[in-house]
């Protein structure tokens, strides 16, 4: 099994590509070891000293470190990923599900058409680019010209996430939807 690694814009995060499907539907973000019981793969990764976050995407795993240097952490992480896939264990524990939809979306009924366009642009233009950097971004709400988005994986806590939101996503949404004034992370 050959696992590729890629740097992300977030220096505390590396993207691991195992060459196979990780999550067939949705994504899963685990921010601490207590949440890792949802995934045997994440449990193995949190067992590596210094790992502080795991994000499971369609064909990649993003690992965030709290301490240590990548040259020391990377071999242990690669070993944990390889052991998991070679064992045949499932990525998700029995009864666990991916985060397919966000709960608590908010927007006024009269903004439904605008929200549908925002979601379409997120799905077709923004999320694929963000996934390329080891993260994900999902719609949370729309109110008074402001779009609220949740950033996950390498995007969460990334030093360049504000630039991504304000200059990239905000400009794209304004281009297609003049009613959008700004974009905020939640």
Instruction: Judge: domain 109-185, CATH 3.30.300.130.
Output: yes
Per residue in 90-146, pLDDT (tens digit) is 888 876 666 655 467 889 999 999 999 999 999 898 888 888 777 788 888 999 999
Q: Could you give the residue range(s) of every CATH 3.30.1370.70 domain in the chain?
A: 4-87
Tokens found for residue 150? 């949740």
Helices (H), 13-54: 40-46
| Terminal-residue alpha carbon distance, the chain | 38
156-183 pLDDT, tens per residue? 666 666 777 777 888 889 999 999 998 8
Q: 110: how many CB neighbours lie within 10 A of its CB?
A: 7
User: Is 4-87 CATH 3.40.920.10?
Assistant: no
For residues 5 and 77, give the distance between their C-alpha atoms in angstroms, rounded to a whole number. Answer: 11
113 to 119, 120, 173: CA distances (angstroms): 10, 11, 14
Instruction: Collect all residues with Cβ–Cβ distance below 8 Å to 18 and sequence separation of at least 6.
Output: 1, 3, 59, 60, 61, 81, 85
* pTM given for the model: 0.75
143 in Cβ contact with 105 (< 8 Å): no
Residue 105 Cα distances to 87, 115, 124, 140, 142, angstroms: 38, 10, 19, 5, 8
10-14, 79-83, 155-159: which is most confident:
79-83
- Which regions of the chain carry the CATH code 3.30.300.130? 109-185
């Amino acid at each position: 099994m050959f696992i590729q690694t890629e740097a992300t814009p977030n220096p505390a995060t590396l993207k691991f590509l195992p060459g196979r499907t990780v999550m067939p539907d949705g994504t899963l973000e685990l921010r601490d070891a207590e949440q890792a019981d949802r995934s045997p793969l994440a449990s193995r990764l949190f067992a590596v000293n210094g790992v502080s976050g795991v994000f499971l995407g369609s064909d990649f795993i993003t690992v965030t470190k709290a301490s240590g240097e990548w040259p020391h952490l990377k071999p242990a992480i690669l070993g944990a990923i390889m052991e998991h896939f070679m064992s045949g264990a499932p990525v998700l524990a029995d009864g666990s599900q991916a985060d397919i939809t966000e709960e608590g979306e908010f927007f006024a009924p009269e903004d439904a058409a605008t929200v549908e366009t925002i979601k379409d642009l997120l799905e077709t233009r923004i999320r694929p680019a963000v996934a390329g950097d080891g993260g994900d971004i999902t719609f949370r709400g729309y109110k008074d010209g402001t779009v609220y988005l949740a950033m996950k994986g390498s995007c969460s806590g990334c030093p360049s996430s504000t630039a991504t939101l304000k200059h990239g996503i905000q400009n794209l949404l304004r281009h297609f939807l003049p009613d959008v004034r700004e974009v905020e992370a939640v």
